[in-house]
Amino acid sequence: MPLIALEEHFAWDPASVGNPVATWLKSNDPLALERLYDRGPLRLEQMDAAGIDFQIMSLFDPGVQESVDVAAAVDLARRANDDLAETVRANPDRFGGFATLATQDPDAAADELERSVTDLGLVGALINGHCRGRYLDDPAYEGLFERAEALGAPIYLHPTTPHPAVMDAWFAPYVGQGLHLASWGFAAEAGTHVLRLIYSGLFDKFPRLRMIIGHLGEMLPFAAYRIDRYYGLGGTPENPLARLPSEYLLDNFYVTTSGNFCPPAFSCTLDVMGADRVMFSVDYPMDDNQDGATFLSSFPMDDGDRRKVSSENAVRLFGDRLPAYLNAEDQNAKT
């Protein structure tokens, strides 16, 4: 069965100049840094070794979203997407791409999403969480989400460093241990961001909008029962949701395995989300392709569900934006 990975990162200068993770890798893991910047032979070699057929790439966090110069960020996003599209065109059977968006300017971000999908052939967009403290439930972003729904272009909501006020209140004493990063802070930040989008009523306005979150759902599948049970506990919501919060999670979101190869957590995610809503990812090069592929192939699950997670759900979500050979039904018809 084909294997599609879709939270896989690359660095690109000038957007990645001074990136703190890339800077750390330069001194501590030069091979990982080389993998992060490579979009050619080394990346393909790593994919082939793990049996990964197709990889959807995205610009490494925070992308262009931290720039205080809005016009420069918009220009840089456009250039980054043009550059990524060249990589995809050079190897369309192996690589796809998520657009990067300068969410400093919501209207420009909506236009760039449309250009990236319709003109450049990218599959959707990846947004690195809040933008200098502004979250995507801000009404200014409704036009972006309306455009994404109309285009049928999924948006991957990727974690970023928590809001500065949260950093001060929660994480400041433990930055040296990395509590604010992938061990805990990223999931707490991204999971809360998802709930803000749900509680804002975004998916009542745009019910066909599709979003993706990584790391087995940023802890939300584990918490879904209590989220529903205590929704509205603070008083009568000013604009109550039409359904329970978890129903939007199940209907409007897909989750990936990126960087969370833990069998009990995967089992919980499958039980809560259902196999139709889970997709394979590695989080390359921070995590290892072979580790991710071995995890999926060895997990005790029905072969039909394994096919869904491996590729069928991604093919259904992205449609003809992926190469035709990845469609398992097409492959079965040929055999």
| Alpha-helical regions (H) of the chain | 20-28, 30-37, 41-50, 70-90, 106-118, 142-151, 164-166, 185-199, 202-205, 220-229, 245-252, 263-273, 289-298, 303-307, 313-318, 328-334
Nearest Cα to Cα of residue 194 among 158, 145, 239: 158
For 238, the token pair is 């000013």
Say if strands 211-213 and 124-128 run parallel, antiparallel, or are unpaired.
unpaired
| pLDDT score, position 311 | 98
| Positions of E strands within the chain | 4-10, 54-59, 95-100, 124-128, 155-158, 211-213, 253-256, 278-279
pTM to 2 decimal places: 0.96
Task: Write the DSSP symbol of residue 176.
Answer: G
Give the 3-state secondary structure of 3-18: CEEEEEEECCCCCCCC
- Please write the tens of the pLDDT for every residue from 285-311: 999 999 999 999 999 999 999 999 999
* Active site annotation includes 283: yes
Measure CA of the first residue to CA of the last residue in the chain; give whole Å. 13
Tell me which residue range forms the domain holding 137: 4-334
* Residue 214: Cβ-neighbour burial (10 angstroms; 0-12, 13-18, 19+): buried
Give how many domains the chain has, as a whole number.
1
Statement: residue 98 has pLDDT above 90 = yes
| pLDDT score, position 72 | 96
Task: Quote the distance between the C-alpha of residue 197 and its chain's center.
Answer: 15
For 278, the token pair is 């889970």
Task: Quote the distance between the C-alpha of residue 82 and its chain's center.
Answer: 20
Q: For residue 62, say if its preceding peptide bond is cis, omega within 30 degrees of 0.
A: yes
Residues 6 or more apart whose Cβ sits within 8 Å of residue 264: none
pLDDT band at 328 (very low <50, low <70, confident <90, very high): low
| pLDDT score, position 238 | 76
- Residue entry with tokens 């603070």: 234
Question: Catalytic: which of 53, 61, 137, 283?
Answer: 283
- Please write the tens of the pLDDT for every residue from 23-80: 888 888 898 899 999 999 999 999 999 999 999 999 999 999 999 999 999 999 999 9
Statement: residue 332 has pLDDT above 60 = no
- Please write the tens of the pLDDT for every residue from 232-289: 998 877 779 999 999 999 999 999 999 999 999 999 999 999 999 999 999 999 999 9
C-alpha–C-alpha distance, residues 305 and 316, integer Å: 14
CATH code where residue 193 lies = 3.20.20.140
Looking at residues 130-139, what average pLDDT do you find? Answer: 97
- Please write the tens of the pLDDT for every residue from 312-321: 999 999 999 9
Nearest Cα to Cα of residue 125 among 66, 195, 78: 78
Q: Which residues of 63-89 are buried (b: 16+ CB within 10 A; e: fewer)?
A: bbbbbeeeeebbebbbebbeebbebbe
Mean of all residue pLDDT scores within the chain:
95
Task: Write the DSSP symbol of residue 175.
Answer: G
Radius of gyration for the alpha carbons in the chain, expressed in angstroms and rounded: 19
C-alpha–C-alpha distance, residues 227 and 332, integer Å: 41
